[in-house]
Chain A
Amino acid sequence: MLLLSGELIVGTAHSVVMLAPLSERDRGRFGSLFVTNYKLSFVPIDNSSNDEYGQRNQLVGTFDVPLTGVGAVWQTDGGPTRRRRLLPRSDVPSKLKGLQVVCKNMKVLTFNFENSRIGNGRKVAMALLHHAFPKRHDLLFAFDYREPYYPTLPSDLNMFQRPGDWKRELERCECPHWRITCINGTSDAFMLTAGETLIVPGSVLDYNLIEAARHFRSGRVPIWVWGRPEGAALLRSGELLPTEQSATAESVLLEQVRRSHPKLTPPRVLYVCGAAGAGASGGGAGAGGGPLGPLPPLAALDASYKKLAELCTPTTLADFWTQDSQYYSFLESSRWLRHVAACLAFADEAAEQLARNVSVVLQEGDGVDYSAVVSCLTQLLLDAHCRSLAGFQSLVQKEWLALGHPFCDRLGRPRPGSTKEDADKEPAAQTAPVFLLFLDCTWQLQRQFPAAFQFTETYLTTLWDCTHNHLFDTFLFNCPRDRELAVSKNFVQRPLWDWEEQFSEQDIALFYNPLFGQPAPSSRFSTGAARAGAGGAVAGAGGAGAGAGGRLQPCTSLAGVELWSQCYERWLPPLDAPRAGPVQYLLHHAALRAQIQKLNEKLSSLSILTRHSRADEGGEGGEGGEGGEAPPAVTRFYPFSARGGCAAPLDGMQLSLIDASLLLDSQSLLNAPD
């Protein structure tokens, strides 16, 4: 097993069987199970060529889980069926037969200790329960990781850490009527969970902001996040507090927003979530969200997600098929897709207003959750730059990190800065997969507009996996202030966006959508007909599925959204099948692009016409190039599935579990003549 610098083994069990997912106790692999201060790691005795298949993380092995990715731990009787939840820091019986770990990315690992030395299983379980749920933030491994970091971030990535970064964004959006204030970086700071730089209407004074902030939750006055050269801007704010002057304070600020619009158009306030929605204030307010209504409180979102997770983590084949027989009821009762559709509806509504050159203020609770989701989606719909990989990462930096989405709270990690005692006293922070909701919505857009995004669903799924890898600082803090505090104590920042830290070139290539952008024929190649044809291709690609002005108009109906199969169902072997699924499109198109590139190269080399003749020619193999590059044969959940790990589910289970009479409305139909 590979240990990182600073990583220590804290628990070991040998002769452990890792059961194949959704199998009974008869199938599995022998190996050793380790718990370190960074991860849970299973090392099989025998290597299988299948282990090389798919995505390989250089820091986390195929059978490793970073401790922050551990969701729930169960004690089992050795098989997958009977189980009892083990709570953090609880005691574990000495004769532990089996352990089941349900990861936050919905992977389920089941271990059997029956061949292991007595007590080994318990040791591992205790170590896991102790280290996977630390009480203090600075106990996370990132603080012990001693590897130096040399940043190689791409230059077009905007980290939104310094005032200059925001200036760049203002210039990119061509919004001259807004100004940068650094008041939030001084002792007068009023929006403690945001970074030091804020963008506000050009006419508003810092003093006004400080005054107004008292009337908004978490001091979240409306702040600029995006704008159009035509004048309309997108702002985010927190909910109004029920103070006497809050309505006045709001309308004063909204008036400043209006004045920042060259046409002096009053802004429209969208109440994304919260009590304010219905009764609230002034003109131009609207509930939005279409027929799906506003977004639910975070606790309800969390509950919704838990039901979804339950649906996606069956532990036995019997469970799997039972769920299958009532799949749509379960899907309905989780309501997750409703929330996804509602986010898209809000974003479409906001994009519609902005396209009409009306400024939009997204108002929500503390202004750090759903407003980030809707704001990001709105920008994805309107701003083609955000659909590039660098643009998307910049967007995450801006909306989620610089503006302080509380990742620790939402992902259920200890709060930075609070001591063990604090943690015991304070009420537990609300966990909720808000960022996942955003990734899911982004995936829906990708699916609806397959050529519009530079990145693939594999990228999004990987990003979700990485939010649970606490080696990187990107999703490690609640707000920029916490991060700065840690840095001042010699914490090494390690942005996630350096993908080479984790993945090979080959894996990173799968992050790029081959349908995005336009392939051009070689410029050296100049027969008229081909020019015209290529021109057509370029013209067609220019819109990349976007309507007028590059705006995407998604389908926001509940019937238009789907479950993100790759992210949620990739660990379910019965669903995996060779040459199946949308990943085939990706690989096929990638092969096409490669062929085009090869032909281009061939053409440019031919056009030189001066190369030595025969040997070269023959070597090219004539037309061999185009047929030869078959896309590799992969299974549905590539690059996440284990190849060959799935037996075709022909065991009749799927039929025997459907009671034929359930498919009937009434007996009379059964008895009708055939």
Chain B
Amino acid sequence: MVKTVEEINQKIKEGNVRVVTAAEMKEIVAELGAEDAAKEVDVVTTGTFGAMCSSGAFFNFGHADPPIKMQRVWLNDVEAYTGVAAVDAYLGATQLSETKEMYGGGHVIEELVEGKEVELKATGYGTDCYPRKELYTEISLEDVNQAVMVNPRNAYQRYNAATNSSNRILRTYMGTLLPNFGNVTFAGTGEISPLNNDPEYRTIGVGTRIFLCGAKGYIIGEGTQHAPPYGTLMVKGNLKEMKAEYMKAAYFPGYGATLFVGIGIPIPILDAEMARFTAVRNGEIETKILDFGVPRRDRPVVRKVTYEELISGKVEINGEEVRVSPLSSFYMAEKIMKELKRQIEKGEFFLTSPVDRIPKEGASKPMRQKEVKIVKSVMVKAHTIPPHTSIEEAARLMIEKGLNHLPVVEEGRLVGIITSWDIAKAVAKDKTGSVAEIMTRRVVVTHPDEPVDIAARKMEQNDISALPVVDSKRRVLGIVTSEDLSKLIAR
């Protein structure tokens, strides 16, 4: 049995279309089987609602008098990109305000959709055709010619979950990750998420009409970093028609601003295969839990996991039960599926066939970098001392060699570090004796293969000025100091 999108649209027009949500479809296929379910059901609505950083909006503000060619433009002090025509600009959801804390592009977009006015500030360099150099006004969505949401990467089919092996709290775009595998966070809505219900991308493609933040939107093509089964979509929609209840500005502490975007996609059940696809269960959708404790691009995989386990709220890591938080709202995804279902049943929303397919294959490549500077290339020889060295002796060594840091080594292994500040403190307190009494024992270290940027961040976060470089057996191979790093930057 084969149905066409035209036939389904005819049913919508006649008011006798059978629409179910993706959640309902699982049960129907389980009960009737794919063949009969395909006869029974015409459309399955899918939904997702998550923080989607790769989102933003194009604006055309209209021309001022005298006119300006905007070289830089800010909306509520959040800068938008203006390297296009005179009064066109793109405001990205994650761009931060230059004046207001915890506020960014996503918040500006949300305020506009709520009907509020925002401050528009622009500067230009002045040309014969655009003489004006400065502009300051207030605008709302009604005032601008166009306001078009264009999101380069939305609706991730599945996404790597996150945890943290390190001993400190991490504030990430995956939310706050507690130390020592204290929690797991994941994104995506699993079996109700659009692309998981059409994994071959048969009906979801270029030109597909979708529900985007309450408005009718369209898929422009595959999204950036599209790498099936981690598929993504690039979408657009008219900001002026959107509803604030289907989006939400957000600010992840320690990371920055973003925007929760609500997307619903109707899937036409053309045949038994589509019915089978839309019957997919969370237990069949696999992803990986990555360790964000390792601040590298290729984060170690802690384990594989299914969305069923993630959604259960608890997963096991190294024999321990770890609690799980979603980052996507299942409540909102459900609400979107139901709203889209309602619109189709009422004849307000018609389905489309894709104009073109999106790729079924693809991989997200790492960046081509000239070189990653690693610690080995900047470290210098370290002068080490044994723990029984007297404070006076350590002081003398520092002055003689012009050093501020002396790693303390016992039986070939790093056991502490002493700085010129420690010596000064000891002198101020009339302390005498061995360095073992005044050294710092919990030494923050680096490794020869660690990128310089990560070593620099370690120093910044711990408010220290040097890191001993050690191997896996904590043998001291050298030392990097903030002075050496600043020379590197100055060069």
Chain B associates with chain A: no
